Chains A and B, each alone.
Chain A
Amino acid sequence: MTPILEARGLRKLFPLPPARPRGLAGLFARGTPRRLHAVDEVSFALERGGALGLVGDSGCGKSTLAQMLARLIEPTAGAVLLQGRDITAVPAAAFARSPDRRRIQMVFQDATDALNPHDSVFRAIADPARRLLPGLSAQALRALVHDTAARVHLPPGLLGRYPHQLSGGQRARVGIARAIVVSPEVLILDEPTSALDVSVQAVILKLLHRLRAETGMTYVFVSHDLNVVRMLCDRVLVMYLGRLVEEGPVDAVFRSPRHPYTAALIDAIPQFGRPSARREGLEGEPQSPVNPSPAMCRLAGRCRHEGAFCRRAMPDLLPAGAAHRAACFHPLGG
């Protein structure tokens, strides 16, 4: 079966101003071009109806990858395929007007930033429907907005309110309603609950789970909370400094992580009643994401399993179990 969503060798490099030597020499030096490797050579495929978690420390490239998948920013290299068709062949600006725009939608981390403060809740939800579902009568639009609001449990009385009159949980619901009003096939959610208290988060997680069961939508769910990913997703991608370091079924990755970074991440989850004796802690500071060496593992210098080879080549993603891959020369539990 053709995967619903596929990433092939995706890269996003952000150019930075060149570093020049200090003083007079700097005026004449050309300076080395500097590029920040936000996402580097990421490939994976996602089956229809699946829920993929995307985890990793902040700055590892999760949001950049999510926005490339949602076709909101231009990759430096590589392609995104929606049901086998290369949607990166169309420029992002043109994609915004293509019929495929409706099929892949995104929910942003901070609903407050994503909402226009001058738009009522009704307009915020109606706006994407107006743009992407042409030919909708005013009456049908009204019905659709009311129906969508009901599906995310927003009382109709809130439709006339403005973002500042809403609680954090209500704003998160509006953000989700805006994305699902056009019935997308793929929903990309970038930390949709990170700004919320646990009490509110639980409600939103249940809502997201129910929506997927009702519609068969495919999810890409970005989160730094591994316990949340474990509950909501069936597969997980682990990123470190722009690279995909491990990919596999949620249960297998959590039970027996193969990459030392994944192990450290799981080990760092605060757990009730467990004294803080960490076995897999990372040492030191991460490498710089600017002009990183292409021939060295990005975790080198922090990893206690490091061997001589780790600084000589970049490890490839290799099979590490059933539908499980890891990029490490010294995988754990091998």
Chain B
Amino acid sequence: MSAAPLLEVRELSLAFRTRGGTVRALDRVSLTLGPGETLGIVGESGSGKSVLAYAVMGLQDRAGRLTGGAVLWRGRRIDRLGEAALRRLRGPEMAMIFQSPRAALNPIRRIGDQLADVLRAHRPLGRAAARAEAAAMLAQVRIPDPAARLAAYPFELSGGMCQRVMIALALACAPALLIADEPTTGLDVTTQAAIMDLLRGLARGRGMATILITHDLGLAAAHCDRIAVMHAGQLVETGPTAAVFAAPLHPYARALARSVPGPETTLATLETVPGSLPDLSAPDLPACRYAGRCPQAQPRCRTEAPPAVPGAAGQVARCWNPGP
């Protein structure tokens, strides 16, 4: 690849200090994302997907500390930037949408005012111009009768509509990267499909890169160019979507991919992932955090960090004993 990546996460580690001990939520996570690319981050809940997204955006909780590694945006380190510099980055460069749109919207401000606020924070626009632009943005996320909807409060809209408003807000400043954290969890299957089609269409039209965070592997498989599989704060496998789902190398990626019911799955072919996520505050976490659940674990999986092993289809697994 000749062009510099848009985003590069290099060996990033992050820990939360809590009363129950130090939660080592991210452990040397590395990934890169090119312009216009769609990356899916998948894994069981609690595997660190949201923590990673927040860390990239510089939005992590106060209790959270980066303990190693770096985040680079267009080749420049951003993990040490101050809040003011980060704020200039958020909006025009990267934006995020969240799982519960209703909670992320201001409940006592009209939709139109919230959109206008965002627009005017980044561009010198008059009131009338901001309103007109806000209506155009609602139309772009295919909200019917957008001019009338500007006056609505969030509680007057359905969950699917609120998520469309969130998307409009996130796209207001035409970011180069959109991070969508479980954007359709809790929405109906049919609404979910409409939201995903909308996101994908907008991303294509604008050449915007997208990180889709989801625990729904089917959703990630249908919408992403590349997949990153996380387990207990570690990234265990990355690669082109087809490779990671059809020929996964890491035992966890393999078990996870086969536990998703597909149209041809029967109860007999459905696989289960053994065990459950380890406690991330345990002082004696094994080097590979899947070691305690892995049927193929060897003694050194617990003591030595596993190497990055490339597969034939472009996937890369971090494993001492990768499968076929």
Contact = CB atoms under 8 A, between A and B. Distances in A.
A217 to B, nearest CB: 16
Contact of B263 (A167, A199, A264, A269): A269
How many interface residues does chain B have, given as a range? Answer: 35 or more
Contacts of B265: 227, 231
Interface in B155-212: 158, 161, 188-194, 196-197, 200
B82 interface: no
A209 B221 contact: no
Nearest to B218: A270
Given A57-B191, A202-B273, A231-B270, A272 B44 contact: no
Contacts of B191: 57
Q: Which of B196, B223, B263 has the most CB of A within 10 A?
A: B263
A273 interface: yes
A214 interface: no
B222 A270 contact: yes
Interface in A130-155: none
Interface string A226-247: 1110111000000000000000
Interface string A178-198: 000000000000000000011
B216 A282 contact: no
Contacts of B197: 276, 278, 281
Contact of B45 (A197, A226, A272, A274): A197
Contact of A273 (B45, B242, B267): B242
Interface string B267-279: 1001111001000
A34 interface: no
Contacts of B223: 270, 276
A113 interface: no
B261 A228 contact: yes
A45 B266 CA distance: 26
Nearest to A272: B221
Contacts of A273: 221-222, 241-242
B272 A270 contact: no
Contacts of A274: 222
A255 to B, nearest CB: 10
Contacts of A267: 193
A272 B188 contact: no
A268 B192 contact: yes
B259 interface: yes
A226 B262 CA distance: 9
A231 B189 contact: no
A29 interface: no
Interface string B232-271: 0000000001100100000000011001111101110011
Nearest to A275: B222
Contacts of A231: 261, 265-267, 270
A4 interface: no
A228 to B, nearest CB: 5
Contacts of B196: 270, 276
B134 interface: no
A166 to B, nearest CB: 11
Contacts of B260: 198
Contacts of A201: 259
B272 A206 contact: yes
Contacts of B190: 57, 264-265, 268, 281-282
Given A57-B188, A199-B44, A227-B265, A270 B144 contact: no
A51 B10 CA distance: 50
A305 to B, nearest CB: 15
A281 to B, nearest CB: 7
Interface string B213-224: 001111101110
A246 to B, nearest CB: 15
Contacts of B217: 198
B199 to A, nearest CB: 10
Nearest to B215: A197
Nearest to A57: B188
A225 B259 CA distance: 14
A221 to B, nearest CB: 13
B193 A205 contact: no
A269 B256 contact: no
Contacts of A278: 193, 197
B267 A209 contact: yes
B193 A198 contact: no
B276 A227 contact: no
A32 interface: no
A169 interface: yes
Contacts of B194: 281-282
Given A197-B45, A270-B219, A206 B193 contact: no
A46 B197 CA distance: 38
Nearest to A170: B276
Contacts of B271: 202
Contacts of A167: 276
Nearest to B196: A276
Nearest to A261: B190
Given A198-B259, A276-B193, 14 more contacts: A167-B276, A198-B256, A198-B260, A202-B261, A205-B267, A205-B270, A224-B189, A230-B263, A267-B193, A268-B190, A271-B221, A272-B221, A272-B245, A284-B144
19 contacts: A58-B188, A197-B44, A197-B215, A198-B215, A199-B272, A202-B273, A205-B270, A225-B261, A227-B218, A227-B261, A231-B266, A264-B190, A268-B189, A269-B189, A270-B192, A270-B222, A270-B223, A271-B221, A282-B194
Interface of A: 57-58, 167, 169, 197-203, 205-206, 209, 224-228, 230-232, 254, 264-265, 267-274, 276, 278, 281-282, 284-285
Interface of B: 44-45, 144, 158, 161, 188-194, 196-197, 200, 215-219, 221-223, 241-242, 245, 255-256, 259-263, 265-267, 270-273, 276
Q: What are the 10 A-B residue pairs with the smallest beta carbon separation, nearest first?
A: A199-B273, A268-B193, A57-B188, A270-B222, A227-B261, A272-B221, A270-B218, A202-B259, A202-B272, A197-B44
